[in-house]
Amino acid sequence: MTRQLTRILTLFAAAALSLAAPAAMQARDVRYREREGTLSRAGYDRMRQMSQQLDALARQANDHARNDQSDQYRRDTKFLRSVDEFARSAAQFRRRMNEYRTRQWNVDEELGRLIGDARNVQKRIRRARFADTHTREDWDRVVDLLQRMTSEYRNGTRVAVGDGRYRDDDFRDRDYRDDAYRDDDGYYQSDISQLARELDERTNRLVEVSRRSAPFGYGYGDALGRFAEHARDFRGRVDGGRLSQQQLQLIVRRLVEEAQQAQSDLTRPGMSREMRSEWDGAMQTLQRIRQAAAA
């Protein structure tokens, strides 16, 4: 009787183990599915920063479209509405990205929708007979940034591009700390390069607008010209080679000083709306450069 009872208990234990193993594997699979498609910490930081850039670019593109002097754009209410809607979508994307840690959502799907909307606007601009150069550049940069954001998101979610399945070995040696994607000097070289280019382009437009809007060809003084020259020099130094973070901070500090001097010259009465829009955009870009340099 005892031997038979022992045999029954042994069979029962074996059956219990056979049932527990699939349950454990199922729980492990659930954990894998939770990790798949979820941004790493470093990926989240990068995506949040890029979403801020997208919001700023979209607002800039919206301002340029509304301030454009071409009658074609003024008559094309559908174009203006699509640009305005995209700017609102970009702002909403930035807000949702800021909350991603506590409320995850399908970022990849939203990026695909934004790229589709941006390309539709881009096609409309390319078909136009008289398209403003700044407007073309705005939307080329918007599409380029969205494409980079899509690549960044797919890399940051630890999903192997190809068959779409998660492989632990593919990412075992990666470092997902906050500074994992930073250069050795402590800042994001690619972001600094993009921001330096944006500041250079904005200051050049500021000089052009000041010359057009001022009577008898008289611009807004030497301070704006010096600020534009320093912005151009800053872009050249960033593109030409690596700067240490200390060197970067010194140059940015000088840029801020030049901007402050130009600010006093630009606040005089009669500043046009186009001029004010360009200046506000340049100051937003400079602020983002300061934040990146201080990282």
CATH of the domain at 56: 1.20.120.230
Q: 246 and 149, same structural domain?
A: no
Residue 278's alpha-carbon distances to 205, 207, 241, in angstroms, are 7, 10, 28
In a domain, 231, yes or no: yes
Q: 57 and 142, same structural domain?
A: yes
With beta carbons less than 8 A apart as the criterion, state whether 251 and 243 touch. Answer: yes
pLDDT, tens only, 114-171:
999 999 888 888 777 666 777 888 888 898 889 888 888 887 664 333 333 333 333 3
In a domain, 171, yes or no: no
3-state secondary structure of 180: coil
Domain boundary among 161, 179, 213: 161
Q: 119 and 198, same structural domain?
A: no
Q: 127 and 50, same structural domain?
A: yes
Confidence at 42, pLDDT banded by 50, 70, 90: confident
Q: 85 and 124, same structural domain?
A: yes
State mean pLDDT over 72-101.
Answer: 85
State mean pLDDT over 57-86.
Answer: 77
| Of 139, 97, 98, 96, the residue nearest 115 (C-alpha) | 139
Domain boundary among 146, 161, 176: 161
Q: What is the pLDDT of residue 160?
A: 34
Q: Is the pLDDT of residue 31 over 70?
A: no
Domain membership of residue 279 as a residue range:
189-293
Query: Cα(first)–Cα(last) distance of the chain, in Å?
Result: 76
| Domains held by the chain: number | 2
Helix axes 222-240, 245-266, angle to 10 degrees: 160
Q: What is the pLDDT of residue 96?
A: 92
In a domain, 14, yes or no: no
With beta carbons less than 8 A apart as the criterion, state whether 251 and 234 touch. Answer: yes
